[in-house]
Structure 1
Amino acid sequence: MGTPKPPISALGLDVGSKRIGVAGCDRTGLIASGIITIERKYLQEDIEKIRQLVNEREVNVLVVGLPYSMDGSLGSQARQIQKFAVKLSKALKLPVEYVDERLTSYQAEQMLIAQNRSPSRNKGLIDRLAACLILQQWLDVRRKHLTRQ
């Protein structure tokens, strides 16, 4: 048996201009699940809503999806998300890790369509699902890295 993995409490964030999808994980770091969708108002209020979740869930890392361009570069939307993530990181005194989230919103929409639900009527749910996919991707990579050590 290997050394026990340290407990992890991460928040996955799908940051958009209108909403932020939020996902969390269990302490084992195996499974991500959607928590809430924050309707964005202004920066301080967005940070405070996330701070409440961080405190409730004893979060120790923020995982933010970055929408890389298909050529792998960072476009203006990705740079705006990075600016927000840096402000959030400083305000909450937590590290931020980024995940390539190019196709997560599309995947989330496809999941809804498979359930015969309308993506246009469930935008908040799509944001939550996308946050879940972002966090799950990060957890899977982390788990593979930890098992190799």
Structure 2
Amino acid sequence: MSEQQFRRGVRVALDLGDARIGVAACDRDGLLAFPVLTINAGDRELADILAVVDEYEPFEIIVGLPTSLSGGDGPAATRIRQRAADLVVALAERTIDVRLVDERLTTTQATRQLRESGRKGRKQRSVIDQAAAVAILDHALTSERSTGTPPGDVVSAPVVEPEGDPAA
């Protein structure tokens, strides 16, 4: 495998939950991942994510994929793949890759770190999703540095089949 140079530029990471979406970003050198905000999941999530994209101007978005411990996709991973594809469609006018990166145990890791830092209960809930997004981004940055290749898999825009020929 030929090694590539580490790609410079801002990245945004998303921890897509059913109720909340944790958002993190990194500096242009990819040295520091930091929490940005938590977005409410639902009808406005794509608009809110696009607002973050407009503010941070990343060259790629890292989305955590909740792969099962055996490495396969369960129902949660299937939902995340669909939401990532929806994001690709929403980003169609921008040249930003969306990548799915294995996020196994990142929420557990983030919860443990927050508990160890003294945050508990409801106070912890407000930042857990951001901390998980930071962990996802840290993992992606570390992976790229160690392998020389971009992490995860690029999400492609869904193929839309044309409807029947109206002349027929």
Please say whether Structure 1 and Structure 2 have the same fold, judged by a TM-score greater than 0.5. yes
Map Cα deviations across residues 53-99 of structure 1 (whole Å, 9 max, x no partner).
11111111110111111111100011101100111012113321111
Pick the structure with greater CA Rg: 2
- 2:135 is matched with which residue? 133
Q: What is the correspondence of 1:48-87 to structure 2 with a 5 Å cutoff? A: 48-87=47-86
Q: Can you give the 5+ residue segments of structure 1 that lack an aligned partner in the other structure? A: none
In the comparison of the two structures, how many residue pairs are matched?
143
Question: Hey, what's the Cα distance between the residues in 2 that align with 1:121 and 1:20?
Answer: 16
CA contact (8 A) 2:21 2:40 kept: yes
How many percent identity over aligned positions?
37
CA contact (8 A) 2:6 2:144 kept: no
Question: 1:122 is paired with a residue of what secondary structure?
Answer: helix
* 1:104 positional shift: 0.5
- 2:97 is matched with which residue? 95
CA contact (8 A) 1:30 1:140 kept: no
Question: Hey, what's the Cα distance between the residues in 2 that align with 1:135 and 1:22?
Answer: 10
88-97 or 115-124: bigger deviation: 115-124
- The Cα RMSD (Å) is 1.8
- Shift of the 5–65 alpha-carbon distance from structure 1 to 2, 3 Å rule, reads closer
Q: Which has the higher helix share?
A: 1
Question: Hey, what's the Cα distance between the residues in 2 that align with 1:12 and 1:49?
Answer: 14
Map Cα deviations across residues 35-57 of structure 1 (whole Å, 9 max, x no partner).
00001231xx1111111111111
Question: Hey, what's the Cα distance between the residues in 1 that align with 2:134 and 2:7?
Answer: 21
Q: Can you give the 5+ residue segments of structure 2 that lack an aligned partner in the other structure? A: 150-168
Map Cα deviations across residues 95-128 of structure 1 (whole Å, 9 max, x no partner).
2111111101101110111112114432130100
